[in-house]
Every structure is written in C-alpha cells, then in structure tokens.
Structure 1
C-alpha cells in the first residue's frame, strides 16, 4: 500500500515569504505614517486658520469701539476731549516700526479711545441711570459706564503675544504665535490713500476715518515639513520669516470708523 507524502515548504520558499511579508509591513507602516502626518498637518493648518480668524475678529472688535460717545453726551455736544496728547475728537493713534522695550521690533502699535455706555444713554425715561449697559468694554471684556473715558493699546510683545492694554490697568494676552502686526490709516477726503503712522501729520489724527491692519500668525507644524525661508507681505512691509517648520498665514482686515466726532 502506497503512502501519501506531505511535502513542506523549503528554506528558500520560507525566506521569500518572510521578505514579501516585510515589504508588506513596511508598506503598511509607510501608509499609516503618511496618514498620521497628513492628519497632524491638517490639524495644525486648522488651528492656524482658527487663530487667524480669532485675531482678526479681536482687532476688529476693538476698532469698532473707537471714538464712541454716548447719545446723551452727543446731545450735550461733549466730544472726546483734547487731553494727554490727544486732539479733540481724535479716536485713534499709531506708532510705526517700533524699537521699544517690551514691543516686538519693527512692528506697529495702535491706540484707540472711546467713552462707555450706560442704560440711560438711549432711554430718556431712564436718563439718570448710569449703570453700564454692556455695549462698550475694556480689554477684559468688562462693561464700562458712560462716565469712563477709556484708552486701549494693541501691540505684539517680544514673546510673540498680541496684547491688549487699557487705561484701567488691564493687560490681556489676546492670542499667541503672532510674528508681526502692521497698521495703516486713511484720512477723510476723496482719494486719500492708506498710509503708515509716521506719514500721518500730528494735526491730522482727528481726521482718520479708516484703519487697515495685517497680521502674520504662525503655528508649529510638529511634522517633518521642509524648513524653507519665505517672505510675507504685510501692507507696506515685507517680513523675512525664519527657515523653520512653522506654518504661517497673513491676515488682513480693514474697518471704517463709524463713530464720528461731535463739535
């Protein structure tokens, strides 16, 4: 009676199988690593975009308050006063390409001022009520009443933080990873261009009717992206970014000042 012989794998066949298995594992690892890298890079880009939108909105919110004088003071013809270096009805002031302690070199600084708002400002029946109504706020987001004249300063410090300081003593970090902040201003009149702060004459600040701004935000990618130096254009200024692996985004915005002075 003949017996069936079961033939096993030879050494060469086993080695071929091992090599093929290694190639398969390496391929799967490469795909997984690439997928993880793409996901992390996507998250970093999303975080950078969200940060940029937040910074844009924070600056816009502050500029939206510039020059505010409540209704009752307008009726009494009480403008923003000429005091402490400010002109009458002047609502904004700027510094260009600073080289000042505590401020990031070659960045701009913006100051705005406005009065608070109270419950009685727009309600004759409650004209004596001076409780803040929440329309005008300081850097902390705290409502200020109509007896308060507030000055707010926006700048980037040497730690790449966007700072909001006010005349009530508050200093708030609005956002981080900011590499440059630039402003330009436009006077009232036909065909007036936007110019930097050092091109606004001292007597012309009260006639500023619009402000535009540009921010360079960055975010560590955490990935093996190519470290390449690159130039970024912020309004009139060209910024040479470091050759690192950070992601960067330029954010631009502008606002027409809605709160015109009273005389």
Structure 2
C-alpha cells in the first residue's frame, strides 16, 4: 500500500509549469495580435480622416470656383453699351493696381496672384449685381466698378472694391497659391506678362492650390504639385489639391 507521501509526490510530478520557450512564444503571439489590431485601427483612422479632409477640400474648391467664376462673368458687364472702348475707358496705374487700356475689363501684374475686374452696375432693380464681397452694387449705371480678387499674406482668398477704396474682405482660408492665365488673340493661354492686347482677352484660366484646415497625416508628408512656372513642394501634415477652371468672358465683344 502506497503511503500518502508517495501519492502526493506523484501528483506533484504530473503538474508542469510553463517553460521559458513557451512563455516567449506566447509573448510573441500576443505582440503580433496587438500589432495587427493597432495597424487596423490606425489604417481605419487614417482612412476616415482622409475622407473627411477630402470632403473639406472639395467644399472649399466648390466655393472658390463659384465665387471667382461669378465675378469673372461680370467682367465687361453693362446694361447699355454700344462700344466697349467708350464704356470702359483707359485708367492709369495706381499703386499695385495695374493700368487699364480702353476696352480692357480684366487686368493682372506679371507673376501676381491677383486679378482686377471692371464692370458696370445693372439698371433694373430686379437685376441687382452682388459683388464678391457680398455687397449689392447699387450705384448709377455710369459707374465703373473695379473689384480685386487675390491671396493675402495669411494665405486667404480676399475680395476688395478698388473704385470706392473699400476694405479687403477675407473669403476663404487655406489658399496656398493662385494664378491666372489669359486667352487672347494668340489663341493660347498666356501669363499676365505675355499678354500683348488686354482688350482682346476673352477667357481666363484659374489655377488654385487649396490646403486643408485639418491636419490629415500623422507625420509631415511631402506633396509635390505641378504648377505653372515650376512644381510646388510642401512638407507638412495638411492635405492639398490643385484645381483648374476656364471661364469665358461672355461680355467681351470678341468673345469665343
């Protein structure tokens, strides 16, 4: 008959602990699982953030295009005119505002991210013109309105009425770059410095680089964007998008 001590010894001999190799394998498997779950979470978070920011930039693009297009479509507008040369007479340069020749309704300086637009108010009360600063133009029809669109030092799109000396009104943040090309009698889009006859300009091409307000990437990420005159390189956490839009100047006598 076996003594209790012998039975206890055999029972203890059958109990085995976890060896070092087994412990290490368990830790590695656990780390792999944690890594997989973390990667999935980060990937899902990045995908969600990218979707949200893409929507933000799309909204900014839509707003910028609508606003600038609406203003460009006013270039050369007049209720009663028979000759664009007499309706829009020449103006000398003043400060940063370039000179306007007779019949010229848009202007820009070489290398500038700003554009100036001329038009006249509407005569009928139910055809009131709303300028880019959201103000109704209600002056007499013999008034020549001069509006300026550009990018300020805070990288915001702004609007300013020049003929009345109005102040600058910020419209949209996150504009990294803006440039204009002009379709003239050469039948090709030209930068401002290459336009020979501004009165012949019949279309404007808008180029924009918009930046998200919300940080998209977890770490600074390089983005290279093709741009007239050379690529633009950015290295931060914001997402960017470039857009191009051509606007025909429908009030130009020599229109397309």
- How would you bin the TM-score normalised by the shorter chain? 0.7 to 0.9
Structure 1 stretches of 4+ moved >4 Å: 13-26, 75-78
When Rg is computed on C-alpha atoms for both structures, the one with the higher figure is 2
State the shift of 1:212 in Å. 0.9
- The 5 A counterparts of 1:83-162 are 83-84=91-92, 85-97=99-111, 107-119=112-124, 131=125, 133-134=127-128, 136-145=129-138, 147=140, 148-162=143-157
Q: What is the aligned residue count?
A: 227
- Highest RCO, 1 vs 2 (Cα 8 Å, sep ≥ 6): 1
TM-score, normalised relative to structure 1: 0.73
Q: Sort the Cα spacing of 1:260 and 1:144 in 2 relative to 1 into closer, same or farther, 3 A.
A: same
Structure 2: unaligned runs, 5 residues or longer:
1-14, 93-98
TM-score, normalised relative to structure 2: 0.75
1:176 to 150, 173, 178: 173
Measure the CA separation in 1 of the matches of 2:180 and 2:110.
8
Moved more, 218-227 or 173-182: 218-227
Measure the CA separation in 1 of the matches of 2:41 and 2:182.
50
State the shift of 1:23 in Å. 5.3
RMSD (CA atoms)? 3.1
| 1:257 and 2:249 matched | yes
State the shift of 1:222 in Å. 3.3
Aligned twin of 1:5: none
| 1:66 and 2:75 matched | yes
Aligned twin of 2:231: 239
| 1:12 and 2:4 matched | no
**SS state of the match for residue 31, structure 1?**
helix
Aligned twin of 1:217: 210
**SS state of the match for residue 158, structure 1?**
coil
**SS state of the match for residue 51, structure 1?**
helix
